[in-house]
Amino acid sequence: MDTSVGILAVTAASIGFLHTITGPDHYLPFIVLSKARKWPLGKALGITALCGVGHVMSSVVLGLAGIGLGVAVGKLEIIEGVRGNIAAWLLISFGLLYMVWGLRRAWKNKPHTHLHTHADGTVHEHTHTHHHDHGHVHAREGKTLTPWVLFIIFVLGPCEPLIPILMYPAARHNVAGLILVTAIFSAVTISTMVAMVFLADRGFRLLPAARMERYTHALAGFAICASGLAIQFLGL
């Protein structure tokens, strides 16, 4: 292996990890939604990996097209910037709408008490919610739609370091180097996303979350919206 390609491969792994770990939008939406929607761990990790593939491959395709057409890196960075703005605002909008829906759901699911009087004069209280009566249809619809909304957002979201830092330097060496560096960056990025969701799932199991369960959807929406705001205004 060419020494410079080897250096680029190590750089790809390092940047892929740091780019992902310092960007909470890469894993926080999956963590909070899997908790709110009670996804099995396998499903949560599968959705995370799928969105990670879409996230990376969209930039790979754009970068390869740029290399093939001889487009300047600066122009591709402009396109990536536009994509990033669109993805951030979609994340903000999705999170905000989901938070409002979650608050409405929490309010409708507010526990309330009824008094029951038996024939023998005994009186007792009965506390219940209406969620189980009306929530199952909407829950199935949400479980079907939510992963695809995330996938679309992540496909639109760019992998900013990939094109200027990795693909063009690798392309100046050889095709094998380009493939190697791109594959390493992609594998590390997706693996880090999945690992963060896995670790968060293990951590959540240690928390007494029963009191907050009613508000998990609203909190998930808030966290997703905050991730989008952090991208758009803090550059995370």
pLDDT for the residue 67: 79
Can you tell me the distance from the alpha carbon of 144 to that of 27, in angstroms, rounded to the nearest whole number? 19
Please say if the pLDDT value at position 121 is more than 50.
yes
**Mean of the per-residue pLDDT values of the chain:** 81
CA-CA-CA-CA dihedral for 15, 18, 22, 23, to nearest 10: 40
Comparing 108 with 111, which gets the higher pLDDT? Answer: 108
What is the percent of the chain where pLDDT is above 70? 79
Please say if the pLDDT value at position 135 is more than 70.
no
pLDDT for the residue 128: 47
The strand pairing partners of 113, in sequence order, are 127
pLDDT digits (tens, 9 = 90+) for 181-218: 899 999 999 999 999 999 998 887 666 555 667 788 88
Q: Give every CB contact of residue 72 below 8 A, 6+ residues apart in sequence.
A: none
pLDDT-based confidence at 21, cuts 50/70/90? very high
Please say if the pLDDT value at position 140 is more than 60.
no
What is the percent of the chain where pLDDT is above 90? 34
In this structure, how many other beta carbons lie within 10 angstroms of the beta carbon of residue 234? 7
Classify the phi-psi angles of 124: left when phi > 0, otherwise alpha if psi is within -120 to 50, otherwise beta. Answer: beta
The mean per-residue pLDDT over the stretch 103-109 comes to 81
Comparing 214 with 102, which gets the higher pLDDT? Answer: 102
pLDDT for the residue 141: 44
Can you tell me the distance from the alpha carbon of 183 to that of 235, in angstroms, rounded to the nearest whole number? 25
The mean per-residue pLDDT over the stretch 160-174 comes to 75
pLDDT for the residue 210: 54
Tokens, residue 17: 């990890």
Please say if the pLDDT value at position 133 is more than 50.
no
Q: Where are the domains of the chain?
A: 3-110+131-205+213-234
pTM, full prediction: 0.80
pLDDT digits (tens, 9 = 90+) for 50-62: 999 999 999 988 8
Please say if the pLDDT value at position 68 is more than 50.
yes
Classify the phi-psi angles of 70: left when phi > 0, otherwise alpha if psi is within -120 to 50, otherwise beta. Answer: left
Classify the phi-psi angles of 38: left when phi > 0, otherwise alpha if psi is within -120 to 50, otherwise beta. Answer: left
Q: How does DSSP assign 133-161, residue by residue?
A: HHHHHHHHHHHHHHHHHHHHHHHHS--TT
Tokens, residue 103: 């608050």
pLDDT for the residue 38: 87
The strand pairing partners of 115, in sequence order, are 125
